[in-house]
Amino acid sequence: MRNLLNFLARYNSLIIFLFLEGIAFYLISTRNNYQNSRLVNSVRGVTSGIEKKINNTKSYLSLRKVNETLAEENVALKNRIAKFTKTESSLFFSVNDSIYKQQYFHTSAEVIKNSVNKQRNFFTINKGESQGIKVDMAVISSNSVAGVIVGCSKNFSVAMSLLNPDFKLSARIKSNGYFGSLSWDGKDYRYAILSEIPQHVIVTVGDTIETTGYSAIFPEGEIIGTVSDYEIYGGDFYKIKILLATDLKKLHFVDVVGNMKKTEETELEKLYK
């Protein structure tokens, strides 16, 4: 009680001033139509601004859920396209074969750990064996190559990043169909190297580089990047520098792609090796 009295005694002039100002403000705003309308408009403006900021904040906080929904819808669409688009002659198929038109299936996942500055880089996704993920499945980000699954637990998987010297991929120049081997040289995370392209082939800066589909892991025609530069290497072949389409520093949502006919293909190929 004493503290309250001391406070009132110390700030009595300010309290009286604020009280009288409040009364004056009330009288001005209620007895004068012009002042009243200005006050109402000002309050509405402030309220509208606050509501707009609140709505923007809510929208921002919901972006994660929106991205997850979009990723799931994108995967569902890819699976429907794969199901209804023939990738081979369907003149002969069993009437009980419900997937004769579909070779690849897609599932979305979120990258929860990633590295780009090591000599051998990997990233981790939040899905594993329980969600149907298996070793040697392709990982794609925004329709371009990101990596390949190398290990799985029940609910998580580790993928070898394209930024890993052990990652090898069959790639071709889209404009002319010539293919070679693509790998990372361990230098710049934005670039990879395409080799084994013969010197007589016409190569142009800006040419699109895509997957061949020869590996039984990546579907044919997935974008890898574009030709940034090239030079003659070893006398007979080019060393082509590829600007990667995927910014591997920004991996977030990815598609994991499984080849439903991979086992059949690899088992057959083993017989002739």
pLDDT digits (tens, 9 = 90+) for 63-113: 666 566 666 666 556 655 655 554 444 333 333 444 445 678 888 899 999
Which of 161, 163, 169 has its CA nearest to residue 122? 161
Closest CA to 173 of 221, 108, 237, 128: 221
Predicted TM-score (pTM) of the model is 0.64
Q: What's residue 42's pLDDT? A: 67
Q: Which domains does the chain have, with CATH numbers?
A: 2-61 (no CATH), 63-88+96-270 (2.40.10.340)
**What does the alpha-carbon distance between residue 84 and residue 230 come to, in Å, rounded to a whole number?**
39
Structure tokens at 227: 């030709």
Give the whole-angstrom CA distance, residue 77 versus residue 58.
28
pLDDT tens across 24-48, in order? 666 666 666 655 666 666 666 667 6
With 80 as the cut, is the pLDDT of residue 6 above it? no
Residues 167, 157: Cα–Cα separation, whole Å: 17
C-alpha angle 272/134/108, rounded to 5°? 125
